[in-house]
Amino acid sequence: MRILVIAQEKDGAFRKSSREAVTVSKKLGAQTDVFIAGTGAAAKEASAYGADTIYLFKTSEYDAEMQSRLIAAKVNEGGYKAVFFAHDWYGRDISARVAALLDTVVLSDATQISVDGDRVAITRPVYSGKAKVQLKSKGPVAVVSLRSNSFTIEESTGKGEIVEIFGDGMEPKAKIVEFTPVVTKRVSLADADRVVTGGRGIKEAANYKLIEDLADILGAAAGATRAVVDAGWADHALQVGQTGQTVAPNLYMAIGVSGAIQHLAGMSSSKIIVAVNKDPEAPIFGVATYGIVGDLFEVIPPLSEELKKMLG
Amino acid sequence: MNIFVLIKQVPDTEARIRVSGGSIVHDGIKWIISPYDEIALEEALRIKQKSGATVTVVSVGPADATSAIRTAYAMGADKGIHVVHSEYAMLDSLSIAKAIEAVVRAEDVQLILAGRQGSDSDNGQVPLMLATRLGIGLIPFAVELTVGDDSVRVLSEAEGGRAVYQATLPAVITANAGLNEPRYPNLKGIMEAKKKAIDTRNFSELVPSWESMVEVVAYGDADARPKGKILEGETAADKARALVQALHEEAKVI
């Protein structure tokens, strides 16, 4: 089986979710090639995870339409049986376009994957994690997106060859004319290994800083519940839950979060969940690995001190 | 201006999802317009109020799935198209996109709005597939939208920041949280919605031949989480210390 992994560079490095996707492909025993768009800084790194051929599309602009056409053309020409994406912003924006060009669908947000002959079988959460479903690809090519943090990364050996590919010169129908990066030293929710989320229990906007400070000690992303976002205490981009982002970090700390079903849906596949809440009956304790029943304003200061000691 | 809004009827986000015999149990579920689609509809209604437009909602679903369209009417949608398939559960994103494509191609549509993803399957594929198949622009994750006579300017939540997209019409735009706060239908709207006709179309007439590209093997309950523990201690500081110790020694995540 031949698999094409659609990778990304992030700050000049081979993105974590891309390392996960290449590892999964190699583990399935597939001959693994990579498509990557960007400056090219990360292309070489793909070899270290076992990619054979790395198709590099050098570009400083993000044109989803062109990238989709280039990927679909590469899939057709290379006889790939599967295309792997990460189920993140980029994967969401590109994978369905590629699938449409290939006349198929995306098996999206996979948390488990296996191969049965030429068919790909996945398990994925649905209803924001309230249930799961097993799906199997049909047709000549399977387009799959993998949930971040669901697959372990393994280094491999290889000396992949970089082959540069070029754009088709077509103008995009929808064009990005301005881009304003969010300047933050904090990791994004999508990439985070650790997330600290503040809920209504923080009581007022100014207290969201407690969540940010705790996140900074842990090198974590800061998140917020819908109530906190709706109150204007945190930006929409930080919302975790059914109408926000779904995250599955190694460590998720819910501070002053009661655990509405829509919130649980967005974080309950995290590996370790910590809940700090005054109310011992709060539903968040139902999914928590470790719970502290207590006033967050009393718990956060000593917790910060202990974490600082531990993490040096 | 003709605006089409793609709406999907889904279980209320408050609903507990039960699985029996490999399928989702639909009994007793309250059905709503998928939350992001509701935001898309609200945006269409605001454009209508500001500069005049005809707002048509399109929903693909089983024959009895009309409550989402009724709710859209109550909110202020002008027309509703219900694409019906008797075995709706068999349809995949591509075939749904093809059916909507057939509906759209027969009309003069300038703007197509949809939610970024349905709150049931969480796929978020149909709008992208529709735009790709129609060969028109697609702008994802919109949080602010300005519609001109023949173009649209959209602020979107993008990877690592915010992007401003520009596209000529027609175009497809997916709504993100933060675009607006959807209105509640008023009583008059709800009463009028009950009497309003729905334009019902037969899926197989729109897409005469199709094949699902995915086999649904079985649904299952979400994986249960291992039972957790409440950390005890005299003071908040004791509990905090116990937590850090557990995270380090037992869970090994710090």
- Return the CATH number at A23: 3.40.50.620
In chain A, what residues touch B141 (CB-CB under 8 Å)?
A: 89
Residue A173, in any domain of the structure: no
Residue A214 belongs to a domain: yes
Q: Is the pLDDT of residue B254 over 80?
A: yes
**Hey, are the CB atoms on A175 and B167 less than 8 Å from each other?**
yes
Question: Is residue A188 assigned to a domain?
Answer: no
Q: How far is CA A13 from the centre of its chain?
A: 16
Res B173 pLDDT > 80: yes
Tell me if the domain spanning B2-206 has CATH number 3.10.310.10: no
Determine the angle formed by the axes of helices B93-105 and B126-134, rounding to 10 degrees.
Answer: 50
Segments of chain A with pLDDT less than 70: none
Q: Is the pLDDT of residue B214 over 90?
A: yes
pLDDT digits (tens, 9 = 90+) for A58-71: 999 999 999 999 99
Residues A142 and A16 in one domain: yes
- B247 and A302 within 8 Å at the Cβ level: the answer is no
Number of structural domains chain A divides into = 2
Residue (of B198, B195, B194, B182) closest to B75 by Cα position = B182
Determine whether the interchain pair B219/A133 forms a contact, defined as Cβ–Cβ distance below 8 Å.
Answer: yes
pLDDT band at B138 (very low <50, low <70, confident <90, very high): very high
Residue B150: both structure tokens together? 């023949």
**Residue ranges of domains in chain B:** 2-206, 225-254
Q: How far is A91 from chain B (nearest CA, A)?
A: 11
How would you write B70-122 as a 3-class SS string? HHHHHHCCCEEEEEECCCHHHCCHHHHHHHHHHHHHCCCCCEEEEECCCCCCC
Within a domain: A12: yes
Does A182 map to a domain?
A: no
CB contact under 8 A, A138 and B215: yes
Beta bridge partners of A181: B161
Residue with tokens 């998928």: B34
Q: Which residue has the tokens 């198949």?
A: B133
**The dihedral of CA B25, B28, B31, B35: what is its sign?**
negative
Domain that holds residue A156: 2-165
Query: Could you report the per-residue pLDDT of B3-41, keeping only the tens digit for each?
Result: 999 999 999 998 989 999 999 999 999 999 999 999 999
- pLDDT of the residue at B155: 98
Mean pLDDT of B191-196: 96
Residue A92 and residue A17 share a domain: yes
Q: Per-residue pLDDT for B166 more than 90?
A: yes
Residues A87, A203, single domain; the answer is no
User: How far apart are the C-alpha atoms of A163 and A159, rounded to whole Å?
Assistant: 13
The position carrying tokens 């270290």 is A48
Closest CA to B200 of B100, B88, B96, B83: B83
Reported as half-sphere exposure (CB side, CA atoms, 13 A), residue A93 has a value of 22
The CATH number that applies at residue A261 is 3.40.50.1220
Percent of chain B with pLDDT over 70: 100
- Co-location of A20 and A161 in the same domain: yes
Q: What average pLDDT does this structure show over B67-86?
A: 97
- Are A52 and A142 in the same domain? yes
- Is A174 inside a domain boundary? no
Structure confidence at residue A205 (pLDDT): 97
Mean pLDDT on B123-131: 97
Is residue A135 one of the residues assigned to a domain?
yes
Q: What is the pLDDT averaged over residues B184-191?
A: 96
Same domain, A69 and A210: no
pLDDT at A236: 86
Whether residue A132 contacts residue B220, with contact meaning beta carbons closer than 8 Å, is answered with: yes
Flag whether A24 is in a domain: yes
